[in-house]
Structure 1
Amino acid sequence: MSLEDGLHVERAEFFTRVMSQEGQELMLGYLNATDVIGELPLYRPDTYTQALASGSVPRRRSTNER
């Protein structure tokens, strides 16, 4: 696949995922984690390692969740 075609596929997949209910929840969790720790979560080696292993940035639970 050419770079141009690959970028087109990536963009389409990203928008499909980010616009889903789960995608919105994950993005809000990521933004919350950024606010809580004061930096991008993937800048933390432990979080980056977890994300590589699981394929997703670990979600931090809010104070409303159990």
Structure 2
Amino acid sequence: MFLLSSAVVKSDRNHLVRVIRDDGVEDDLTRRCFSTYDEAYDELERFYADLCCSDDRVEYSIMQAELESDKQ
């Protein structure tokens, strides 16, 4: 269904959690930021619940992303 980039995604002030599409395309879900892995997971669960056919299924991964201020 989806993968985690590291074994554990911790919530801290310096990182956000993002959902990315495995095909690299951006959509409404990938533009959002989450403060915890659980929030991102719950949103993916709601997204997949709305799909009725596996042929239409887009694969997503949950990744930890740095804040813009950390890149400087």
Using structure 2 for the length normalisation, give the TM-score.
0.27
- Structure possessing the higher radius of gyration over alpha carbons: 1
Higher helix share: 1
Q: Which has the higher contact order (CA 8 A, sep 6+)?
A: 2
Using structure 1 for the length normalisation, give the TM-score.
0.29
Higher strand share: 2
